[in-house]
């Protein structure tokens, strides 16, 4: 997402623009934001981990993470070098939003402290740098939680779609 000064005129649909036209438009931006969503309540996660640690229990990861794919770093670096527009990475949780500047990510990666690299299946096993969200800044907090509803889906032939497992029914 690009952020422009208020007086900048930007068409609602840029898909018709040539590369040259979009390059000129990007240079007018004051910032860029990459937004990622997460299926966690980050503040709750951290509070639970803190209680577990205080109770003497061994805990895994202390905080949720910014999840940055290694292959994206090269692309972002080239983009920053060419466009000269600051870019931040925002991780949106159900209860809060955390952000970190990509330049700070590059510094953290080069220092190699407190980071892990994983190849999660949900990311097609692509090398992913896990950066604790506490290395960034909390920039927002939810005012209300989303409502969830269960929905039963099956294909035309009566089978759950790929990636969905049926719930085990309670015995009657």
Q: What are phi and psi of 138, to 5 degrees?
A: -75, 120
| Number of compact structural domains in the chain | 1
The tokens for 15 are 């898909």
> Exposed, middle or buried, 166 (CB in 10 Å: 0-12/13-18/19+)?
exposed
Half-sphere exposure for 140 (CA within 13 Å, toward CB): 15
pLDDT digits (tens, 9 = 90+) for 116-125: 888 878 777 8
Residue 13 lies in a domain: yes
pLDDT digits (tens, 9 = 90+) for 97-115: 999 999 999 999 888 777 8
* Residues spanned by the domain of 84: 2-141
Residue 164 lies in a domain: no
Percent of the chain with pLDDT over 70: 94
Residue 169 lies in a domain: no
Residue 22 lies in a domain: yes
Residue 158 lies in a domain: no
Residue 23 lies in a domain: yes
Residue 146 lies in a domain: no
- CATH no. for residue 46? 3.40.1350
């Amino acid at each position: 997402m690009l952020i422009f000064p208020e007086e900048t005129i930007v068409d609602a649909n840029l898909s018709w623009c040539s590369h040259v036209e979009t390059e000129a438009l990007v240079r007018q931006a004051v910032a860029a934001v990459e937004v990622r969503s997460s299926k966690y309540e980050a503040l709750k996660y951290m509070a639970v981990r803190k209680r577990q640690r205080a109770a003497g229990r061994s805990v895994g990861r202390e905080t949720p993470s910014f999840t940055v794919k290694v292959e994206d770093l090269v692309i972002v670096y080239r983009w920053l070098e060419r466009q000269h527009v600051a870019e931040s990475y925002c991780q949106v949780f159900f209860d809060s939003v955390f952000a970190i500047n990509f330049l700070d990510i590059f510094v953290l990666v080069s220092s190699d402290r407190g980071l892990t690299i994983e190849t999660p299946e949900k990311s097609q096993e692509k090398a992913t740098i896990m950066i604790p969200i506490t290395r960034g800044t909390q920039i927002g907090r939810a005012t209300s939680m989303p409502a969830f509803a269960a929905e039963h889906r099956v294909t035309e032939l009566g089978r759950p779609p790929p990636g969905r497992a049926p719930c085990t029914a309670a015995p009657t």
